[in-house]
Amino acid sequence: MQFKNSREFAQNLDKKDPLNRYRDEFIFPKVNGKKVIYFVGNSLGLQPKTARKYVLEIMDDWANLGVEGHFYAEKSWWDYHERFSGKLAKVVGAKPSEVTVMNTLTVNLHLLMVSFYRPTAKRFKIICEEKAFPSDQYMISSQVRFHGYDPEDAIVQIKKRDGEHNFRTEDIISKINEVGEECALVLIGGVNYYTGQVFDMEAITRAGHEVGAFVGWDLAHAAGNIDLKLHEWKVDFAAWCSYKYMNSGPGNASGCFINEKYHNKKDIPRFEGWWGHSKDRRFLMEPEFQPEPNAHAWQISNAPVLALAPYLASLEMFDEVGMEAIIKKRNTMVSFLEFVLHEIGKEVDSNFEIITPKDQDQRGTQLSVFLHGEGKEVFKYLMEKGVYLDWREPNVIRLAPVPLYCSYEDVYEFGQILKEAILKT
């Protein structure tokens, strides 16, 4: 598409956009009485208007039914988490039986490592990306130490080449081959939180399996953002938080994928609790654990339904819209943002270096932009003018024009305010 950096052009794209009406389904913060331009949905998604209703439903059921709400609420609480599997499976490309929702992301990665990181004297290494999200680094390092290994020996980081902003698949695969039989687990963020790079999960998963390792993915920045085919790619396990692209609310629950080949397996260790016990027998209070025949076997406690409620509200919107439509709009909108950045760059004679890959298959909603020189002042100016974006040291702004609630006009307007910011600061 031939883009133009004009308000009229952007408004025209909005008029033709089938997802434009969903913008009204979200609540926007306001600055100076105006809805903000919200480009931080990669950090915390906006609140869907239906979220409050879903939470109040539970508050009312609790008020009116007390303990009976577990079984007699319209959306009964005892199996509330099961309502997610079918719809979430579509978002991540899985079978419904492979998906569950529980706890929070880092907690789930720890729990999944109980099953999938079982080091032996010979095979004990974990391959991850350099500068992984800090929580992932702490998680991996503490797991390694828990098993009595030294992180210096057991953690192998994939590195970028000097002067390059992104990882190369060939380098990741050759690292996996190099570690070979010592590799117990490959665990990487499917979309890099800093650059927005999308990894070739299929090729990397295959490479990990070829050396006999398990392969898991942290999909914090991937779920609800990019096309995922976890089952088809034969991924062993994955987990994601729901408050970024999935708009479920701050600190909210995490989705998990556990490949069906590990269901009903006696030789897979797992930390267990009553919510993973066979559903039909859960309340018989038997002494021996009988796992659910699916991903729910990894559940531990009874479901925190007040937290799950807004996630369910948001998920229903994803189900209605579908990832295909989201991705289609995302591609156009991110390309438009890229175009606007180049145009504004020319106008103000400034060089915005986009460090996110140019190739659409290697990126999702986020563009990370290196602001040579200008930096923090520009960022502050934008925030004051009601453009919400995020800042990462040393000099990077991350922009995520989320297709469900951002408009093409937001992108145009952002460009104008950015220009002002640079000329004034």
Q: Strand ranges (DSSP E) for 305-364?
A: 352-354
257 among annotated binding-site residues: no
By CB under 6 A, tell whether 91 contacts ligand PLP. Answer: no
302 among annotated binding-site residues: yes
- Whether the Cβ atoms of residue 326 and residue 364 lie closer than 8 Å to each other: no
Q: Which residue has the tokens 């979309």?
A: 191
Of 18-26, 214-222, 280-288, 387-395: span binding ligand PLP (CB under 6 A): 214-222
Answer for which of 189, 249, 401, 415 binds ligand PLP (CB under 6 A) is 189
DSSP states along 357-375: -SSGGGB-S-EEEEESS-T
Q: Between 240 and 412, whose beta carbon lies closer to ligand PLP?
A: 240
- Whether the Cβ atoms of residue 174 and residue 143 lie closer than 8 Å to each other: no
Please give the Cα distance from 219 to 5 (Å, whole number): 33
- The CB-side HSE value for 263 (13 A sphere, CA atoms) comes to 20
Q: Between 36 and 111, whose beta carbon lies closer to ligand PLP?
A: 111
Q: Between 224 and 415, whose beta carbon lies closer to ligand PLP?
A: 224
134 among annotated binding-site residues: yes
By CB under 6 A, tell whether 10 contacts ligand PLP. Answer: no
Going by C-alpha positions, the residue among 242, 247, 308 that lies closest to residue 105 is: 242
Amino acid at 239: A
- Whether the Cβ atoms of residue 92 and residue 238 lie closer than 8 Å to each other: yes
Report in angstroms how near the CB of residue 307 gets to ligand PLP at its nearest.
Answer: 12
218 among annotated binding-site residues: yes
By CB under 6 A, tell whether 223 contacts ligand PLP. Answer: no
390 among annotated binding-site residues: no
By CB under 6 A, tell whether 218 contacts ligand PLP. Answer: yes
Report in angstroms how near the CB of residue 420 gets to ligand PLP at its nearest.
Answer: 31
Report in angstroms how near the CB of residue 106 gets to ligand PLP at its nearest.
Answer: 3
Please give the Cα distance from 369 to 358 (Å, whole number): 12
105 among annotated binding-site residues: yes
Q: Could you tell me the two tokens for 94?
A: 């899985």
Please give the Cα distance from 79 to 100 (Å, whole number): 11
By CB under 6 A, tell whether 175 contacts ligand PLP. Answer: no
Answer for which of 85, 100, 106, 366 binds ligand PLP (CB under 6 A) is 106
Answer for which of 58, 101, 105, 128 binds ligand PLP (CB under 6 A) is 105
- How do 47-48 and 26-27 pair as beta strands? antiparallel
Beta bridge partners of 288: none
By CB under 6 A, tell whether 193 contacts ligand PLP. Answer: yes
Residue numbers in the known binding site are 105-106, 133-136, 218, 221, 243, 274, 302
Residues forming contacts to ligand PLP in the complex (CB under 6 A) are 104-106, 133, 135-136, 189, 193, 218, 220-221, 241
